[in-house]
Structure 1
Amino acid sequence: MEKTNQTNDRTVTLKRTFNAPIQLVWEAWTQSEHIAKWWGPKGMDVKVLEHDFKVGGKWRYSMMMPNGNEFISEGVYTEIVEFEKIISSADFKPMTENVEIQALFEADGNKTNFTFNVVHQTEEYCKQQEKLGIMNGWGSVFDRLAEFLKEE
């Protein structure tokens, strides 16, 4: 019996091609000083509170929303393959909890093809997140990443 992918109906996927070599895109994802410059939607300042980049290591970021409220995102790295993928649990309380995020990298000359998956526990939760604007939120984050990469 062939095993099928049971996560398709509960995964939100965004794809981008960044005009930067894979080494630079990887550094943007793995170094605290870079993460603080692009993580989070436009208008939010980010502080890296914890970033232990290894399997089992925790990450925790604070984002200040324009209204002054603090928004915490955090997770634990579950798989890291250099220049290929970063997989982590993730909570973005109070908006999104108990998801897995997958950042997948592929070199394409001086560009990087990037795929980002957010895997939810259920199809219903995934649909709810889509209605709340998960695509726009992450789209804004990756717009900031693209701008950051241009400056580096």
Structure 2
Amino acid sequence: MAATGRDTSARSATADREIVISRVVHAPRELVFEAFTEVRHLSRWWGPEGFTTTTRAFEFRVGGAWDFVMHGPDGTDYQEWITWTELTPPERIAMLHGEARDDPNAFESVLTFEPDGTATRIEMRTVFPTKELRDEAVEKYQAIEGGKQTLGNLATYVAEIVRKGAKG
């Protein structure tokens, strides 16, 4: 019980610095997790609607990094850097996400993958270093809508894999 109390306290302590987005994806948990762990998948769905992704380096392991550029529909390029801090297949991924290695404004994200019947409930919990950085991400970069669109792109992508698999 004490662990639950600590988790609740930790969450309430970060509530003004976090964004939580969840979605049910109609695909098995292992496939949804795999879509996050292999660059051949990530490059097909990562980012909000209209964005594309170019990967410069990718090493999916604790301490490994994904160095990539997100290309916005208006032509703006966004330098991105993710380093994986925890991997528990197929349940959980924790990562630090910023513009580059050692970005002082990098934020932490934890993704959890829970079975939901034959589907998967994915939750993306992101905690920013400050409330101001969280607010900037929401207001300037539409982080909540972008996160919802990203998970929507994931859902569409893995549903297509499932559909093709059912045909084959």
Q: 1: CA distance between counterparts of 2:99 and 2:36?
A: 17
* Corresponding residue of 1:99: 107
**Could you give the per-residue CA deviations for residues 61-83 of structure 1, whole angstroms, max 9, x where no partner exists?**
22222233322221211111111
**Could you give the per-residue CA deviations for residues 71-97 of structure 1, whole angstroms, max 9, x where no partner exists?**
22212111111111111110148xxx4
**1:47-58 pair list within 5 angstroms:** 47-58=54-65
**Could you give the per-residue CA deviations for residues 83-127 of structure 1, whole angstroms, max 9, x where no partner exists?**
11111110148xxx4101111111123100110011101123223
SS at match of 1:20: coil
**1:36-115 pair list within 5 angstroms:** 36-92=43-99, 97-115=105-123
* Corresponding residue of 1:16: 23
Read off the aligned partner of 1:89 and give its amino acid letter.
L
The answer as to 2:37 corresponding to 1:30 is yes
- Does the C-alpha gap of structure 1 residues 92 and 40 become closer, same or farther in structure 2, counting only changes over 3 Å? farther
**Could you give the per-residue CA deviations for residues 11-41 of structure 1, whole angstroms, max 9, x where no partner exists?**
1000111111001101100011000000011
Q: 1: CA distance between counterparts of 2:97 and 2:158?
A: 24
- Figure out how many residues of one structure are paired with residues of the other and give that number: 150
Range moving further from structure 2, 123-132 or 46-55? 123-132
Read off the aligned partner of 2:56 and give its amino acid letter.
L
SS at match of 2:33: helix
Q: TM-score normalised to the size of structure 2? A: 0.81
The answer as to 2:115 corresponding to 1:135 is no
Larger gyration radius, structure 1 or structure 2: 2
Read off the aligned partner of 2:137 and give its amino acid letter.
Q
Aligned-residue Cα RMSD (Å) equals: 2.0
Q: 1: CA distance between counterparts of 2:151 and 2:99?
A: 16
Read off the aligned partner of 2:22 and give its amino acid letter.
K
Q: 2: CA distance between counterparts of 1:80 and 1:8?
A: 24
- Does the C-alpha gap of structure 1 residues 67 and 124 become closer, same or farther in structure 2, counting only changes over 3 Å? closer
